[in-house]
């Protein structure tokens, strides 16, 4: 189904009423919802359904998930990077921003997101089986990806938060 919002048609597959009820239930029970936005539409939906009406509590936990099936592009050409940059610019003020890129180009896009200031990067073999976009080297363990992205973050001058710092940053104390 399609719905017009501010002159633009949007899919209503992520049913608004169910999303609002679920977020209210989670927040009433001390659970902080995170939103994985696979494309621009997810960002628009969270903003229209939850933030503008004042339902979602800050900080907003927003993650970008390009590269999953039928989502935003992650190709090694400029479009994958421009798409991620566009998603970042659309994120609501007050968001803690995460990146969870799928597909072969996950590593360059994740490094780009770190350079652009994301707060967290999620990695895992379930979203990308190759370690590098230019080699057929399979990822052997999730820990290998975690070490690699943490090293890149440190080399770019970013600190890795401890579990206690993470709970405080995300408002989970």
2-169: in CATH 3.40.250.10:
no
The reported pLDDT for the residue numbered 105 is: 92
Residue from 93, 42, 31 nearest 64 by CA = 42
Residue from 97, 103, 95 nearest 123 by CA = 103
The reported pLDDT for the residue numbered 11 is: 60
Whether 86 and 116 have beta carbons less than 8 Å apart is answered as no
Instruction: Report the predicted TM-score, pTM, of the whole model to 2 decimal places.
Output: 0.84
Q: Is 76 or 124 the better-scoring residue by pLDDT? A: 124
Q: State the average pLDDT over residues 155-170.
A: 94
The reported pLDDT for the residue numbered 10 is: 63
Per-residue pLDDT of 13-48, as tens digits, reads: 558 888 998 999 999 999 999 999 999 999 999 999
Per-residue pLDDT of 90-148, as tens digits, reads: 999 989 999 999 999 999 999 999 999 999 999 999 888 999 999 999 999 999 999 99
Q: How many CA atoms lie within 13 A of 54 on its CB side?
A: 0
């Amino acid at each position: 189904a399609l719905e017009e919002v501010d002159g633009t048609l949007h899919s209503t597959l992520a049913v608004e009423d169910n999303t609002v009820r679920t977020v209210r239930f989670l927040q009433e029970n001390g659970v902080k919802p995170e939103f994985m936005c696979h494309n621009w539409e997810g960002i628009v939906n969270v903003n229209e359904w939850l933030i503008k009406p004042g339902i979602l509590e800050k900080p907003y936990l927003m993650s970008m998930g390009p590269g999953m099936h039928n989502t935003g592009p992650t190709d090694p050409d400029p479009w994958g990077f421009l798409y991620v940059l566009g998603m970042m610019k659309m994120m609501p003020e007050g968001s803690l921003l995460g990146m969870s890129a799928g597909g072969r180009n996950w590593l360059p896009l994740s490094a780009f997101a770190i350079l652009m200031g994301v707060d967290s990067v999620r990695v895992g073999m379930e979203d990308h089986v190759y370690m590098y976009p230019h080699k057929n080297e399979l990822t052997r363990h999730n820990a290998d990806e975690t070490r690699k992205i943490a090293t890149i973050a440190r080399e770019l001058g970013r600190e890795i938060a401890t579990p206690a710092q993470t709970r405080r940053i995300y408002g989970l104390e």
